[in-house]
Structure 1
C-alpha cells in the first residue's frame, strides 16, 4: 500500500491528469477516476446487520477515511446468513469483526485468523431477569429457563453457570426480547447496548430487573475486534494497517459527531429494512463508546492488551474450550506501529 504522499504523486502522474493539465482542462471527473484507479479494493463484513455497533466503519466509509488511506472498501452486511468469521476464513472478505473468544478459538483450532485491532475493550453481555420472580442472585437461577443465543454468545453464560454450580434449562433464543416479555423465559441474554434498552423501552424499570453483568462476575471478555487471515497480513501488511488506521479514525469521528453519525446509521438500517429507531441507535452508540473507550482505563483504541488476552485465553483453556493457548505474538498484530511486534 502506498503512503499518502506516494499516492498523491501517482495520481498527479496519471495519464488522464497529464492530458488535462496539458490541455489546460480542470476536469473533476477525471481526477476522481484517477484517484479510484489507485485505490486498493477490499471487502469488509461486520458480524451482524447494520446498526450503531458498526458506526465507526460506516463513518470511515462516508467521510472518505478509507479513500484517504488508499482503499476502496465495500461494506457487506453480516448477520445470521453471512457469518463474518466464515467469510474471512473462506476468502470471501478481506476483513471482518468477531468476538475475541471466537478469534482465539479459531486460532487454537489451527485456522490462520489474526487480530489486527481490538475495538471493544469490555464485555457488554448480560443475563437479565425480573425481581418479581424471586431471582436476585446467581443461585436463584438454579433450574430456571435461561435464554441463550447460539455460538460465542454462550461462552460467558456457561462459564457463569459453572462458576456458581448452576444447572439451568437452556432455551435457544432468536432476535429480540419478546419471549422473555411473554414469560417464556426466567432470564434472557441481552447486550447492554441493545436488548437491555429494548427491555427498558418495553415498560420495565431498571429497579424491577436483576442484571447479571458478565464483566462484574469475572468474565469481562473484550468483544468486537477486526480480523483477517494471516496470509492477508503477510501479503499486504500496509493494506491491513491502512484499514485499521481509517477505521479508528471513523470511530473517533463517530464519537465526536454523534448526531451526524446517527443520520448515517439510520440510512444504513433503513436500506437494510431493520426495525429500529433513532433513540435506540443513539443509546447504542453511547453505550459502545463506554465499551470502546472504557472510563478510567487508558487503553489506546485498537490495542489488544497482552494481559487481557492471556486471561481470556486461560479461561477458555480452563473450561476445556481450547486445548492450547495461541501465543499472543502470533495472534495479534499491532497495526498502529510501523514495526510488527514479534
Structure 2
C-alpha cells in the first residue's frame, strides 16, 4: 500500500508552527534587554527639606526613573556650594538662584534648563524693638549675611541704596540674631522667618524686609548644568525638567504624603525634622513657584532674566551679561 503523501500546505503549517513555538519559548526564557538608564547627580543648595520637595518626591515616586534617569540627590549645606559641585564634576546638575547662576557664569559656563521659583522668598529680618522698619534703616547697622552665594542680592541692594552696613558672617543658626549680635539677619520666608516664630516670637516682634517688595523680586531656585551638558544631552535635560515638574505637581496635590516623604529623608540625613515647619515651608514653596499662573512650571521668563541682569550690571556684580538664548536652554521660551 503506497505511503500517504503529505499535502504541501500541511508541511508548511507544521514547519511554521514549530518555528513560532520556538520563538515563543525563546521569548519566555530569554528576557528582553532593559532600557539603559542615564545615571546623573543633582546637587541641592541645602539639606533635605520641603524646599526641595519636587525633586525628592519625583525620585521617591519613580518619575525620574520613568524618564530613564537614575538620579542621585546630593544634599548641600553651609559649607557645600552646589555650583562647586558642578565645577568639580561631582554633579551634572545643580539647583541655584538666578543671581548665583549669572555671576557664576563669569568663571563657569553654566546654563539654566528649568526655572521653578518665580518669586523671591529672600528677606532680612529685624526685631521691631530695633526701630528698623525699612531697608534704609539698616544704614550703620550690623547685618548677618550667609557667607556664600546667597548674599549677592543683599549686597546689590546695599550698593544700590548707598547703605553703610557692617556685614557679619551668618551661620545656619539664628543665635547671633536672637542675642542681638546683629540688628538684622538673612532669612527665607519659608524657613528662617517661620523658625523664629516657632521659637516663641510673635509676628509683632519681627519686621520682615522682603527684597521682592523693593524691585528686587528675583527668581530663585532653578536647575543648572554646564553648557556642554545642555548642548550634547538636550533630551536628558528635557526629561529631567519634565520629571521635576511632575514631582512639584504631585507634591502640592498630596501634602500629607509629601510631608511623610520629606520627613523620612530628613531623618535619614540626620537633619532635625518638624512636621508643622515643613508644612509651612511646602505651602510657601507653592506660593513662590505658582506665583504667576500664566507662566508654565519650569520656564524662565525673559523679562525676569533681563531685569536681574540689569541690576547686577548696575551694581558691579556683572561686567558683561549673556544673552537670554545663551543662558536659558529650557524647552519653552
TM-score after normalising by structure 1: 0.86
Match of 1:67? 65
Greater Rg by CA? 2
What SS does the corresponding residue of 2:168 show, helix, strand or coil?
strand
Question: Is residue 100–residue 150 contact of structure 2 (8 Å, CA) maintained in 1?
Answer: no
Partners in 1 of 2:23 and 2:137 — Cα distance?
75
Q: Give 5+ residue unaligned stretches, structure 1.
A: 1-18
Instruction: Kindly indicate whether the alpha-carbon contact (under 8 Å) linking 1:176 and 1:195 is maintained by their aligned counterparts in 2.
Output: no
Please show how residues 259-338 of structure 1 align to structure 2 within 5 Å: 259-294=256-291, 296-335=292-331, 337=332
Which segment is superposed worse, 136-145 or 210-219? 136-145
Which of the numbers 204, 207, 212 marks the counterpart of 1:207? 204
Aligned length: 312
Q: Match of 2:218, SS?
A: coil
In structure 1, the residue matched to 2:25 is: 22
| 8 Å contact from structure 1 (residues 103, 115) kept in 2 | yes
> Is the Cα–Cα contact under 8 Å of residues 83 and 104 in structure 2 kept in the other structure?
no
In the alignment, structure 1 residue 198 sits paired with structure 2 residue 195: yes
Distance 2:176 2:131 in 1: 19
Matching of residue 217 in structure 1 with residue 220 in structure 2? no
Secondary structure at the aligned position of 1:89 is classed as helix
Asked if the contact 1:116–1:228 (Cα under 8 Å) also holds between the matched residues in 2, the reply is yes
- Give the structure 2 partner of residue 242 of structure 1: 239
SS in structure 2 of the partner of residue 61 of structure 1:
helix
Alignment partner of 1:115 out of 106, 112, 115: 112
Name 1:50's counterpart in structure 2.
48
Q: How far apart are residue 142 of structure 1 and its match?
A: 2.1
Residue 11 of structure 2 is matched in structure 1 by: none
Tell me the CA shift for residue 276 of structure 1.
2.7
Q: Indicate if the aligned counterparts of 1:147 and 1:171 stay in contact, CA closer than 8 A.
A: yes
SS at match of 2:108: coil
Contact 2:78 2:172 in 1 (8 A): no
Gaps in structure 2 of 5+ consecutive residues: 1-21
Q: d(CA) in 2 for partners of 1:162 and 1:322?
A: 13
Partner of 1:80: 78
Distance 1:245 1:321 in 2: 32
Counterpart of 1:255 in structure 2 is: 252
CA contact under 8 A between 1:89 and 1:113: conserved in structure 2? no
Q: Distance in 2 between matches of 1:191 and 1:141?
A: 18
Q: Which moved more, 1:72-81 or 1:209-218?
A: 72-81
Tell me which moved more, 308-317 or 202-211.
202-211
- Counterpart Cα distance in 2 of 1:60 and 1:318: 39
